[in-house]
Amino acid sequence: MVSLARTIRHIRRAGLREWWRQMQYIGDAKWGTYVGKDQFGNRYFENRNAEEEIPGRHRWVDLAQHEYNASQVPPEWHSWISHIRKDPPNQDSVMQHLLLPGRRHSKLTYLPQPYVENLTGTRGAYKPYNTVVPKYKEWEPKVTLRA
């Protein structure tokens, strides 16, 4: 359970409006340094103060959409949140040297595709259509007129 002192400290740092929004969407009051933003508008934060945060929960994302799921976090930011990478993508030297579309490259280089979130369950989901003739036809009753 969150202590009253911690709650008051977060209200003072983030402000009452931001504290209330975090309680509605995240379920916890968090305050930390802004690390970066991805192409979807998600904001990423980190709080390295060990006294304030539970170990392993000192990095978090503030998702831009309120109808959210985990696939809205791009892989490079997911690896930072999961502690696979030490530095965030906007400060990591490996990510800075990735081949980006628009730069001049040799013919054998790999150009990464832009990340698209999983659209299953939304209007943008892939819906296949059937081109095979069905083996069975529906029964259609034949109506005859009575004399």
Q: Is the pLDDT of residue 1 over 50?
A: no
- DSSP of 60-103: EEE-S-SS--GGGS-HHHHHHHTTSSSS-TTT-HHHHTS--TTS
List all residues 6 or more positions away from 110 whose beta carbon is below 8 Å from its beta carbon: 99
pLDDT in tens, 4-27: 887 888 888 888 898 888 888 777
Per the prediction, the chain carries an average pLDDT of: 80
In the sheet with 43-46, reading across from the earlier edge strand, the strands are: 33-37, 43-46, 59-62
CA distance 68 to 63: 7
Q: What angle do CA 74, 42, 127 make, to 5 degrees?
A: 55
Residue 44 · residue 61 · CB < 8 Å: yes
Residue 55 · residue 21 · CB < 8 Å: no
Q: Residue 38: CA atoms inside 13 Å, Cβ hemisphere, count?
A: 25
Q: What is the largest CA-CA distance in the chain?
A: 92
pLDDT of residue 36: 92
pLDDT in tens, 84-117: 888 888 887 777 766 555 555 555 555 567 788 8
DSSP H or E stretch at residue 36? strand 33-37
pTM score: 0.68
